[in-house]
């Protein structure tokens, strides 16, 4: 918008703004191929492999949601396990009353979104670190309340009913497909949210909250929306997890290690990028599979790597990839094709250093300065 008005007419006709450096059709086709190949997996590999991949889907869905929270809305929630647990218990409640757990999953996810509203009301008045611990206390409170219901298994939990009729191979395949669907939906939601008006508002809030507020972004409203979306996503992931484990145990589903896994996957992969959580989840799964007989070790290593990345490579591994190769699988910003920028990223303005690579929606302004 401002490109045409602020540049001279001579150069204006040489400037083009696109969503991506490459044709979006290729990305779309590539994504479609990946999804189709993944959908065929139950026919190709053993159910043990799909079981592992379902765990990956669970983490990836959660990580995408946590990325939306921390990477864009500036909400470091350490209490997302509240939604993981609620998702599991909502499926359990519906399954006890005769609904198929698979049909119950979307209902449970919506239920988590509804539950996120009062929880947001409680924690929204706290900032940063205090917000983080408050969400944690909230998750502990939700668990303690749910443990009070003997019909839901009290403190020990219950096996998931309604799944015993399935043939094990078929059950694994169904779980896998549902997991794939949940993950694709989660990633698509994140991508669409970030491409749209809300994404612009979020990026503005992330980069400078005061400036965003004074430009008319309703910061509180935007944050609430993200909190609810993240609640739905984490709820769906929690529901999926409980279906794949055939069991709901309060201590396991409300464990803070869920938030640790999703947060570390995001931080290692790249906070504030859509590709980051995918890369981070991949690394998490590799680490988890290779150290699966030492459950404490992989969390220790994963946490230590996350700390190192947070300190020394703030945009994560995907940030390094992006800096060197300029690849963007899910473009949400704009690419400026200037008269002499030749499709390369415009020279970094001196002022950009301070925000340390957090900028991304503001790319066109960078280009302007150089062009």
Partner 1 sequence: MVWVNDIIQGVLTGGLYALFACGLSLMFGVMKVVNLAHGDLAVVGAYIALGVITVTHVPVLWSFLIVVPIMAVLGYGLQRTLIQAALNRGELTTLLVTFGLSVVIEAALLQFLSADSHALGVNSSIITGSFSIGSQIQIAYLLVLIFAVAVLVLLGLQYFLSASRYGRMIRAVADDREAAQLSGVDYRHVFGIAAAIAFGTVALAGIAYGMYSQFSPTTGTDTILLFAFAAVVIGGLGSLWGTLVGGIVLGVAQQIGAQINISYEVLAGYLVFLAVLVIRPQGLTSRKAQS
DSSP code string of 12-59: HTT-EEES-SS-HHHHHHHHHHHHHHHHHHHHHS-HHHHHHHHHHHHH
Q: Which of 1, 44, 48, 148 touches partner 1 by CB under 8 A?
A: 148
Nearest residue to 315 via CA among 269, 284, 281 = 269
What x/- string results for residues 80 through 119 when contact with partner 1 is judged by CB under 8 A?
A: ----------------------------------------
Q: Of 194 and 267, which CB lies nearer to partner 1 in the complex structure? A: 267
Examine residue 237 and tell whether it contacts partner 1 (CB under 8 A).
no
Torsion sign over Cα 350, 356, 357, 358: negative
Q: Of 107 and 301, which CB lies nearer to partner 1 in the complex structure? A: 301
Provide, rounded to whole angstroms, the least separation between the CB of residue 147 and partner 1.
8
Reading phi first (left if > 0) and then psi (alpha if -120 to 50, else beta), residue 88 is in alpha
Identify whether the C-beta of residue 111 lies closer than 8 Å to the C-beta of residue 262: no
Examine residue 232 and tell whether it contacts partner 1 (CB under 8 A).
no
Reading phi first (left if > 0) and then psi (alpha if -120 to 50, else beta), residue 270 is in left
| Stretch in the footprint of partner 1 (CB under 8 A) among 140-148, 166-174, 239-247, 318-326 | 140-148
**Contacts of 90 by beta carbon, 8 Å cutoff, 6+ apart:** 104, 107, 108, 111, 112, 235, 239
Torsion sign over Cα 52, 180, 73, 230: negative
Q: Which of 144, 192, 211, 327 touches partner 1 by CB under 8 A?
A: 144
Examine residue 149 and tell whether it contacts partner 1 (CB under 8 A).
no
Provide, rounded to whole angstroms, the least separation between the CB of residue 145 and partner 1.
7
Examine residue 256 and tell whether it contacts partner 1 (CB under 8 A).
yes
Q: Which of 70, 93, 180, 265 touches partner 1 by CB under 8 A?
A: 70
Identify whether the C-beta of residue 102 lies closer than 8 Å to the C-beta of residue 161: no
Examine residue 314 and tell whether it contacts partner 1 (CB under 8 A).
yes
How many other C-beta atoms are found inside a 10 Å radius of the C-beta of residue 19? 15
Q: Of 238 and 316, which CB lies nearer to partner 1 in the complex structure? A: 316
Q: Which of 52, 110, 140, 163 touches partner 1 by CB under 8 A?
A: 140
Residue 105 tokens read as: 């999953």
Identify whether the C-beta of residue 237 lies closer than 8 Å to the C-beta of residue 180: no
How many other C-beta atoms are found inside a 10 Å radius of the C-beta of residue 22? 14
What x/- string results for residues 260 through 289 when contact with partner 1 is judged by CB under 8 A?
A: x--xx--x---x------------------
Q: Of 102 and 131, which CB lies nearer to partner 1 in the complex structure? A: 131
Q: Of 164 and 296, which CB lies nearer to partner 1 in the complex structure? A: 296
Which residues of this chain interact with partner 1, rule CB under 8 A? 70, 74, 76, 78, 122-123, 125-130, 132-134, 136-138, 140-141, 144-145, 147-148, 256-257, 260, 263-264, 267, 271, 294, 296-297, 299-300, 303-304, 306-307, 310-311, 314, 356
């Amino acid at each position: 918008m401002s490109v045409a008005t602020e540049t001279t007419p001579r150069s204006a006709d040489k400037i083009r703004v696109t969503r991506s450096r490459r044709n979006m059709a290729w990305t779309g086709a590539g994504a479609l191929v990946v999804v189709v190949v993944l959908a065929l997996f139950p026919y190709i590999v053993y159910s043990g492999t799909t079981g592992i991949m379902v765990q990956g889907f669970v983490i990836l869905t959660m990580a995408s949601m946590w990325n939306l929270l921390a990477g864009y809305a500036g909400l470091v929630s350490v209490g997302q396990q509240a939604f993981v647990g609620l998702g599991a218990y909502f499926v359990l409640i519906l399954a006890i009353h005769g609904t198929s757990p698979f049909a119950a999953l979307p209902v449970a996810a919506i239920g988590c979104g509804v539950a996120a509203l009062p929880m947001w009301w409680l924690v929204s008045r706290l900032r940063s670190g205090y917000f983080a611990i408050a969400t944690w206390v909230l998750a502990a409170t939700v668990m303690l309340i749910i443990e009070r219901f003997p019909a839901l298994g009290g403190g020990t939990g219950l096996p998931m009913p309604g799944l015993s009729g399935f043939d094990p191979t078929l059950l694994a395949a169904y779980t896998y497909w549902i997991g794939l669907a949940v993950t694709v939906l989660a990633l698509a939601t994140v991508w669409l949210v970030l491409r749209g008006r809300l994404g612009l508002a979020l990026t503005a809030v992330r980069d400078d909250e005061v400036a965003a507020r004074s430009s008319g972004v309703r910061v509180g409203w935007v944050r609430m929306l993200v909190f609810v979306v993240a609640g739905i996503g984490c709820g769906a992931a929690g529901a999926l997890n409980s279906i794949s484990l055939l069991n709901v145990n309060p201590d396991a589903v409300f464990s803070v290690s869920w938030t640790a896994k999703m947060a570390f996957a995001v931080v290692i992969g790249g906070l504030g990028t859509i590709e980051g959580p995918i890369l981070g989840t991949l690394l998490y799964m590799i680490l988890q599979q290779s150290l699966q007989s030492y459950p404490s070790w992989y969390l220790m290593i994963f946490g230590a790597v996350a700390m190192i990345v947070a300190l020394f490579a703030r945009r994560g591994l995907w940030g390094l990839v992006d800096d060197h190769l300029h690849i963007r699988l899910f473009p949400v910003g704009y690419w400026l094709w200037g008269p002499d920028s030749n499709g390369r990223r415009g020279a970094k303005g001196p002022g950009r250093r301070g925000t340390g690579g957090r900028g991304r929606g503001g790319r066109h302004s960078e280009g302007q300065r150089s062009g």
